[in-house]
Structure 1
Amino acid sequence: MSKSMASRLTVFLLVSLLLTPLFLSAQNPKTIKLNEPNKKRGLPVMEALAVRASASQWSTQDLSAQDLSDLLWAANGINRPDNGKKTAPSAMNAQDVDIYVFLKDGAYLYEAKTHSLIEVVSGDQRSLFFQPRPPRPAGAGQPGEKPPVPGQPGQQPPKPGERGQQPPIPPTGGSRPQEQQVMAPVVLLLVSDISRFRGGADDQKKEWAALDTGIVSQNISIFCAGTGLGTRPRSGMDREKLKELLKLKDTQLPLLNHPVSYKKQ
Structure 2
Amino acid sequence: MTDMPLLAYKPAPVLRLSAVKGDTPAIIALPKADLNGGVPLMTALAHRASCRAFAPTALPPTVLGELLWAADGINRPAAGGRTAPSPHAFNEIDIYAALPNGVYRYDAPNHQLVLKHAIDARGQTGYQDFVGEAPLDLVYVVRTSRLPPMPAQQRERFSAVTAGAIAQNVSLYCASAGLASVIRGWINSRLLADALSLNEDELPILAQTVGFSTAECRA
Scaled by the length of structure 2, the TM-score of the pair is 0.82
Once superposed, what is the RMSD of the aligned Cα atoms? 1.7
* Residue correspondence of structure 1 range 156-175 to structure 2 within 5 A: none
User: 2:66: which partner in 1?
Assistant: 70
Q: Which ranges of structure 2 fall in alignment gaps of 5 or more residues?
A: 1-24
Deviation at 1:122, TM superposition (A): 1.0
Structure 1 residues 198-207 or 64-73, which shifts more? 198-207
Whether 2:210 is the aligned partner of 1:260: answer: yes
Structure 1 residues 231-240 or 245-254, which shifts more? 245-254
Q: Deviations over 1:157-213 (max 9, x none)?
A: xxxxxxxxxxxxxxxxxxxxxxx7762101110111232123422221111111111
Whether 2:22 is the aligned partner of 1:44: answer: no
User: 1:100: which partner in 2?
Assistant: 96
Distance, in Å, in 2 between the alignment partners of 1:124 and 1:249 is 18
The one-letter amino acid of 2:102's match is: G
User: 1:83: which partner in 2?
Assistant: 79
The one-letter amino acid of 1:80's match is: R
> Which has the larger Rg?
1
Task: Tell whether the 8 Å contact from 1:194 to 1:206 is kept in structure 2 after alignment.
Answer: no
Whether 2:173 is the aligned partner of 1:248: answer: no
Distance, in Å, in 1 between the alignment partners of 2:132 and 2:167 is 22
Name the SS of the counterpart of 1:240 in structure 2: helix
Deviation at 1:96, TM superposition (A): 0.6
Structure 1 residues 42-51 or 245-254, which shifts more? 245-254
Deviation at 1:257, TM superposition (A): 0.7
Deviation at 1:250, TM superposition (A): 3.8
Match of 2:169 among 216, 219, 223: 219
Distance, in Å, in 2 between the alignment partners of 1:181 and 1:76 is 22
The one-letter amino acid of 1:108's match is: Y
Distance, in Å, in 2 between the alignment partners of 1:95 and 1:256 is 16
Task: Tell whether the 8 Å contact from 1:92 to 1:197 is kept in structure 2 after alignment.
Answer: no
Name the SS of the counterpart of 2:210 in structure 1: strand
The one-letter amino acid of 1:248's match is: L
Whether 2:196 is the aligned partner of 1:196: answer: no
Q: Deviations over 1:2-23 (max 9, x none)?
A: xxxxxxxxxxxxxxxxxxxxxx
Task: Tell whether the 8 Å contact from 1:130 to 1:183 is kept in structure 2 after alignment.
Answer: no
Deviation at 1:130, TM superposition (A): 4.9
Q: Which ranges of structure 1 fall in alignment gaps of 5 or more residues?
A: 1-28, 134-179
Distance, in Å, in 2 between the alignment partners of 1:93 and 1:181 is 31
Name the SS of the counterpart of 1:70 in structure 2: helix
Deviation at 1:235, TM superposition (A): 1.1
Whether 2:63 is the aligned partner of 1:113: answer: no
Match of 1:57 among 53, 56, 59: 53
Distance, in Å, in 2 between the alignment partners of 1:89 and 1:130 is 26
- 4+ aligned runs moved over 3 Å, structure 1: 130-133
Scaled by the length of structure 1, the TM-score of the pair is 0.68
Identity %: 34
Distance, in Å, in 2 between the alignment partners of 1:129 and 1:120 is 15
